[in-house]
Each structure stands twice: as C-alpha cells, then as structure tokens.
Amino acid sequence: MTDIQRQYQDVRQYTEHLCEPLQLEDYVPQPVIFASPPKWHLAHTTWFFEAFVLEPNLSNYKPFHKDFSFLFNSYYNAAGDRIFRADRGNITRPGVQEVYDYRAYVDKAMESLLKNDDYKALITLGLNHEQQHQELLITDLKHTLSGNPIFPVYNEQFSIINAINESSGKVEISEGVYDIGYQGEDFHYDNEKGVHKTYLHRCKLDNYLVTNADYLEFIKDGGYQTSNLWLDEGWAWVNENNIKAPLYWHKVDGVWQNYTLQGLKVVEPKQMLAHISLYEAAAFAEWQDRRLPTEFEWEVSADQLDWGKRWEWTNSAYLPYPGFKTAEGALGEYNGKFMINQMVLRGASQATSPGHSRKTYRNFFHASSRWQVFGIRLADKH
C-alpha cells in the first residue's frame, strides 16, 4: 500500500468513525444555516472526489446518481446549481444508507486513480478538504445536539474541550524583517503561498491560553455589561443576542455548566476557554489591558509556542498575501473569495483531524462565530 493509498483509507475511514456514536436521526437536521448535517458532510466530501477527481480523469466513470451533484455541492458556483444552503436539513432522501453506499461506490472507483502518481496532488487536496469537514462535522453536530433540552450524550469518552495549559511564561520576538508563508514541498493551501517579508516590532506572546477560571473573573467583573471594553459591533452583538457567557454555557442553580459531547458538565476552571467569538476575545484582552497577537507575530513565534488545542483568534483580517493567485476553475473558489470581513485564527484544535495543521495554516471565520473550538492567547501591548 502506497502512502497516498493509506492516507486515502485513513481519512475516509476517520469520517465514518466520527459518525459511529450517532443514531440515524442525528444525521438529518440543520438547525442553523452555518452548521450542516452529518449526512451532508459524508456526501459532500465524497462528491468532491466524484466531481473534481473522477469525472474529469476516469473516462468510463458513471456518477452514482444524477441528482447528487445538485444536492451535495456546497459553494462552488462554477460547478453547477446548488441547493439552497438552508435546506440541507430538510432533504430526507437519499437516506443515510444510500449516502454510505455512495461513499463505497466512489472509494471503489478511486482505486485505479490512487495507483497513478499524476493525481496525488489533487487527491491530497480532496483529503485535506475532507479533514476540514471532519472538524466541521463534529462541531456542527455538537451545535445541533446542544439545542436539545435533554442534552444528549454523543460519546461518554469523547470531548473536544478538555485541555489544560502545559506551558507558562512568554515568548519574545525581536524587531526586524521576517519571512511569512509556507516554504516546503508538502501539502498547503493557496492562501498560505506567496512567501514574503514582513516587518515586526518587538512583541511578547503568552506561552499559554486563557482559562475558564480567567474568563469567569471577566464575567464576575461585569465584562459583558461594560460597553467600553467592546468593539462597537461586538457591543451590538452582545445586546441583540443577549450574550452573557461563552457558547454552550448555562447557569444552573447558580453554577456554570456547559454542554459538551459528554452531556452537560460543570465548567472546569483549569480548562482552556473555548467557544468564544472574536468580540469576546477582544473585550477580554481589553479588560486585561493587553491585546490579541497578529497572525504574523504568531507565525514567527510558532516554533517556540505550545499550541494545538484551540484555534486562536488573531487581530489580523483574512486578506491575500502579496502575489496571491487563485487556482483555475472551480477549485479556484476554494479560499480567495472569502477574503473579506473574516478574521484569521492560527493553531489547531482538539477537533482538528490528526496531521491537519501547520504553523503557516490560516483558518478564518466571522468575528461572531463561536461554534468552533476557539480560544484566546494574549500578547503584551506595544
């Protein structure tokens, strides 16, 4: 078995492994527009191989079902009509079993292409794409289950937030010109490309993340009620949505508990804080008279930092590097078109698939997003 064959098998199986604890009903709903059902993730990642690998390259390939391209495309405008995103949870047919059959059918068809080195780069992109959806699958699922008033358990043994800091102190970067961007031969996204120089001023980043205990102090001190700690949009967001704590937190009989994939649990003070928006991260930083690092400070410090349990909000907007170029065709829609009104996160979380990050990796979300495993690392003000 070659490397790519093994990787293909591992990644594809891992998606299904994540679904093992599910009841069949769990595969279906989409309570919010941004979180897709497991059934859709299983099918969409498979459609990616069908549409971008098999159909263009396997001459006798016959699609599994003529309507699946329509049903399971996500946002690739160039690849045909899409089903309206908010309807993903209302499409009951094809059923779950048929989607698993679709996966098996595509996996079988992939076998011959997996033997051919010409497709290795394209297949690797497909596998990285699937790994991204693995993280979404588990975080989307957490969001869906969290809305059930009986707080269902996904898996008694599994959590995506149970990490504590194992380092302390600060990491310092001296002033000067640094190289930014991916340098190497392995897989990486187009948005990491364009190695370029950037000038950094001296800075100090914590070698640990904000904990629940830290954040409980912020709440206790009236952080959510103090307008001048917040960005203007953040303050509007807090008030319109009546936000009083991180996502999934509930005060029950005076005690803060949080919904986890193991059910409702008491908030653990030593745990790294999770499920907060950039607005909350920025307000917390302001409360401590500190700041969020930029993505460039983070990348330059990365080799000295202890990271990998949380995606960490930076105060950098998601914008192209000098020399950024989008790929031709539908795959060109992958990253560039999202470069507006999103903020960069660096690191990796406990929900990130094994091997699916690196120090140059640029994750990005809207400032109000909370359902991913987002945390806070602080830097000293200049």
Residues that bind a second copy (CB under 8 A): 23-29, 31, 39, 67, 70-71, 75, 77-78, 83, 87, 89-93, 95-96, 144-145, 147-150, 152, 177, 194, 196-199, 201, 227-228, 230-235, 278-279, 282, 315-317, 319-320, 322-323, 325, 332-333, 337-341, 343, 367, 381-382
Antiparallel, parallel or unpaired: β 374-375 and 311-317: parallel
Nearest distance, CB of residue 52 and a second copy, angstroms: 16
Closer Cβ to a second copy, 216 or 330, answer by number? 330
Query: Whats the size of the chain, residue-wise?
Result: 382
Closer Cβ to a second copy, 255 or 340, answer by number? 340
Please give the structure tokens belonging to residue 221.
């001190």
Nearest distance, CB of residue 324 and a second copy, angstroms: 8
Instruction: Show Cβ contacts of residue 45 under 8 Å, excluding neighbours closer than 6 positions.
Output: 15, 126, 129, 130, 133
Closer Cβ to a second copy, 169 or 323, answer by number? 323
What is the torsion angle, in degrees rounded to the nearest 10, for the CA atoms of residue 198, residue 204, residue 209 and residue 214?
-130
Closer Cβ to a second copy, 111 or 179, answer by number? 179
Distance, CA of 328 to CA of 61 (rounded, Å): 23
Nearest distance, CB of residue 260 and a second copy, angstroms: 16
Closer Cβ to a second copy, 307 or 364, answer by number? 364
Nearest distance, CB of residue 306 and a second copy, angstroms: 25
Nearest distance, CB of residue 261 and a second copy, angstroms: 13
Exposed e or buried b for every residue in 99-109, given b needs 16+ CB within 10 A? bbebbebbbeb
Nearest distance, CB of residue 3 and a second copy, angstroms: 34
Three-state DSSP state, 270:
coil
Backbone angles phi, psi at 281, to 5 degrees: -60, -45
Closer Cβ to a second copy, 343 or 373, answer by number? 343
Closer Cβ to a second copy, 193 or 275, answer by number? 193
Quickly list DSSP for 62-102.
Answer: --S-TTHHHHH--S-GGG-----GGGGGG---S-HHHHHHH
Closer Cβ to a second copy, 111 or 221, answer by number? 221
Return the closest-CA partner of residue 243 out of 234, 253, 256, 232: 234
Nearest distance, CB of residue 7 and a second copy, angstroms: 29
Distance, CA of 119 to CA of 104 (rounded, Å): 20
Exposed e or buried b for every residue in 314-327, given b needs 16+ CB within 10 A? bbbebeebeebeee
Return the closest-CA partner of residue 280 out of 292, 298, 293, 268: 292
Return the closest-CA partner of residue 150 out of 21, 263, 37: 263
Instruction: Show Cβ contacts of residue 252 under 8 Å, excluding neighbours closer than 6 positions.
Output: 264
Nearest distance, CB of residue 312 and a second copy, angstroms: 17
